[in-house]
C-alpha cells in the first residue's frame, strides 16, 4: 500500500509532513520502526502556479521506490520477461 496525500488550503500540515517519513524513520507508539515509508505528502500550495505536470511529478515521485521496497521486503525478485 502507498498513501499519497495532497494538502489543499492554508492549514498547518505539520502532521502530514511527519507522516511522510522522508527525513526519519517513523516509529509506532511502542517504539517499533516502520518497515518502509509508504506516505508521500505534497502541499498543493507549493504548486498552485506551477504547470500541472510539476504537481503530478511531485505526487508520484516516491511511488517507484515504494514498490521496490515492498517487493524486497516480501523477498519477491523481479520476473525476467522477454520484451514484447
Per-residue pLDDT tens for 28-71? 889 888 888 788 888 999 999 999 899 999 989 888 888 888 89
- What's the Cα-to-Cα distance from 8 to each of 16, 27, 47, 65, rounded to whole Å? 12, 26, 11, 25
Three-class DSSP category at 4: strand
The more confidently predicted of residues 38 and 12 is 12
Amino acid at each position: 500500500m502507498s498513501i499519497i496525500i495532497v494538502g489543499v488550503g492554508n492549514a498547518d500540515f505539520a502532521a502530514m509532513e511527519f507522516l511522510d517519513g522522508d527525513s526519519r524513520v517513523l516509529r509506532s507508539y511502542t517504539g517499533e520502526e516502520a518497515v518502509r515509508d509508504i506516505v508521500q505528502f505534497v502541499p498543493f500550495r507549493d504548486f498552485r502556479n506551477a504547470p500541472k505536470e510539476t504537481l503530478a511529478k511531485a505526487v508520484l515521485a516516491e511511488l517507484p521506490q515504494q514498490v521496490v521496497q515492498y517487493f524486497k521486503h516480501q523477498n519477491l525478485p523481479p520476473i525476467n520477461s522477454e520484451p514484447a
